[in-house]
Amino acid sequence: MRHLRTLRLIEAVSKAGSIRKAAEDMNITSSALNRRIQNFEEEFGAPVFERLPRGVRLNPAGELLIQHIRSQMAELDRVRSQVADLSGLRRGHVTIACSQALQPYFMPAQIAAYRAEHPGVSFTVHVRDREAAEEDLRAFDSDLALVFEPVHLGDFDVLLTVEQPTYAVMARDHPLAEKDKLRLRDCLAYPHVVPPKRIGIRYLLDLAVARMSQKLEPIAEADSFEFMRHYVQNERAVGFQFPIGLNIGKDDRLVFRPLPKTDVAHGNLTLMQMKGRTLSVASARFANQLAMALSGSW
């Protein structure tokens, strides 16, 4: 395992961009870490870092090496999970990148349900926009991603896709709250708050208004759906969100109205993993649970 320790140190340096900073993070002296890297480069037959006046960065050989390191670490985790499963321990760790909409209700419920059956499994949840989630998969920082409107589907194995309509969100005393059916044009006639362009629902809204004479003219733009839900209670404004991130039927402060698909295309919520990667037992089982939950409820 000594060789694996060196590989982990190299990855730490690549992330920190500094031998000194990585040494602090990994509880080793800078001189010892520098020697480990130099000895590895000599054995490897090529330098992997470019030394800069203020730190280091991976050179092309290092970029190839770091992808190999991440792949090997993921494979080792998978084998460990299989061994634990064989022994009946059912241990492991699952890392998932998910859209912000999954954070308040769906993902906590799913993780808790999984851990009720497999208490030895731990989780890391990264809240990411669609492109950042894809980068997490490429870098092996996440085993799975569950995001709206992924950008580069060709790089990934898609496990499941389900559609979600766009909902208008407003306070109960908003004039539109009295209407059972809303159109996007109704919402745009009032002050509205929207997420930035990198968020999936904003992408769909931009596509929708491109066909309309009305335009998006938000009074506020925020990357937090929680902020938007609270903001519409303070001004007669309208927000937009997918239902999986709303507490429909249980939130007496807000009114939620679906917008027709003819106005705003439904969002594609996609569960995916890096193409060709074999998941650990824990991650594969959690992926199956997510797929079943999404297929049955949404």
Tens digit of each residue's pLDDT (9 = 90 or more) over 44-84: 888 988 988 888 898 888 888 888 888 777 777 777 766 76
Mean pLDDT of 201-225: 95
Q: Look at residue 298 and tell me whether its pLDDT is greater than 60.
A: no
Q: Which pLDDT score is estimated for 81?
A: 67
Q: Is the pLDDT of residue 273 over 70?
A: yes
Q: Are 271 and 159 in contact (CB under 8 A)?
A: yes
Q: What distance in Å separates the CA atoms of residue 87 and residue 48, rounded to the nearest whole number?
A: 39
- The position carrying tokens 């193409």 is 275
CB 144 within 8 A of CB 97: yes
The per-residue pLDDT for range 124-169, each reduced to its tens digit, is 999 999 999 999 999 889 999 999 999 888 889 999 999 999 999 9
Among 138, 137, 135, 134, smallest CA distance to 148 is for 134
Amino acid at 297: S
Mean pLDDT to the nearest integer, 283-297: 91
Structure tokens at 242: 């997918």
Question: The whole model's pTM is what?
Answer: 0.72
Q: Is the pLDDT of residue 2 over 60?
A: no
Domains observed in the chain: 2-65 (1.10.10.10), 90-162+268-297 (3.40.190.10), 166-265 (3.40.190.10)
Could you give the percent of the chain with pLDDT greater than 70? 95
